[in-house]
Structure 1
Amino acid sequence: MTLRPLRQPRQFTGRHMLAIMVAFFGTIIAVNLVMATFANTSWTGLVVQNTYVASQQFNERVAEARAQQSLGWKGALAIKAGEIRYSLVDASGAPVPAESVTVSFRRPSYEAEDWQVKLERAADGAYVVPAAVRDGNWIVNTEAVIPNGAPYREARRIVVSKGEVK
């Protein structure tokens, strides 16, 4: 029987430590760069251009909203069969005539898909435009310009599934 000499364990050197440190910090830096790139290309985080100006306009906007609410008007938005339809009726249920109606669609966290469309008046008093809306969550801002009055504004969150509001 022959005895084999035991193999000496490899010595841990400074090069091994350097390789471990480069791999560890390289992974962290790579992940941070990927996450920063995704954050930078998806949403700016900008809600208003100037927070000071927005704060000065707050009371005006609240007064406009209260005046608008006192009118008793109701707006209804429908998205179905490749068509966007908006109707605005007064407290008695009669259609409210508007010079123009604009609908803006914004993603809650991704501005690259934001868009707006101007609706045309239909024979039934509603405002319509043929347009497909992609599925997902949307913040919809509607502005109807009323003759001799303040614009009627509405904001709502909707979920579109299979081309329809759910």
Structure 2
Amino acid sequence: MASAAPKPLTGPKVFIILVAFFGVVIGVNVTMMKLAIATLPGTDVDSPYAAGLTYEKEIAAARGQAARKWQVDAKIQRSADGGATVRIEARDAAGRPITGLKFAGRLERPTDKRADLAVEFAEIGIGVYGGNASAVAPGQWDLVLEGDARGERMFMSRNRVILN
């Protein structure tokens, strides 16, 4: 039996092979680019310059908070329906309950700012504040608490919590 002679490599075949190769490479790159952009949570700070200008204020606020020696204890619990309950107890340096603060809080996802949830607090007892958040997914969160009095931030904390 005679074997068939190999077909010669012609210009049009080389052109088709090159177009197919680069078509696949470009197609994969476009797909990966679209997936990366769709899942990107965005920048951490919108304006690094503005954040740098407020840095001194943050240092002064942290020193003031440390000088007050407040003891703020926060407990968070996730319920079966997916909500979360946050309870804060605030005491001054002498251990007396602190009343009249306006607490605001956030549950922040460490990996995706789009999943952040606000928590509104109300004073439910003397020096005790409570708030709720709905649709809290299980996993790691940062609990950010800010306590204001007379329009001035008196307390701020950020703590990593794991909710099951």
Rounded Cα–Cα distance in structure 1 between residues aligned with 2:25 and 2:153: 54
Q: Identity across aligned pairs (percent)?
A: 26
The match for 1:106 is 108
Paired residue type of 1:41: A
**Alpha-carbon deviations, 1:19-61, whole Å to 9, x = none?**
4434433333333333332332333432222222221211121
CA 1:148/1:13 → structure 2, altered by over 3 Å: closer, same or farther?
A: closer
Residue 157 of structure 1: how far off its partner (Å): 2.4
Residue correspondences, number: 158
- Secondary structure of the residue aligned to 1:47 is coil
Rounded Cα–Cα distance in structure 1 between residues aligned with 2:72 and 2:61: 16
5 Å-filtered alignment, 1:68-147, equals 68-80=65-77, 81=79, 82-123=84-125, 125-132=127-134, 133-147=136-150
TM-score normalised over the length of structure 2: 0.79
CA 1:148/1:109 → structure 2, altered by over 3 Å: closer, same or farther?
A: closer
Rounded Cα–Cα distance in structure 1 between residues aligned with 2:89 and 2:60: 24
Task: Flag the structure with higher strand content.
Answer: 2
Gaps of 5+ in 2: none
- Secondary structure of the residue aligned to 1:121 is strand
The match for 1:34 is 31
Rounded Cα–Cα distance in structure 2 between residues aligned with 1:153 and 1:122: 20
Q: Contact (CA 8 Å) 1:43, 1:111: kept in 2 or not?
A: no
Rounded Cα–Cα distance in structure 1 between residues aligned with 2:54 and 2:13: 62
TM-score normalised over the length of structure 1: 0.78
Rounded Cα–Cα distance in structure 2 between residues aligned with 1:77 and 1:23: 60
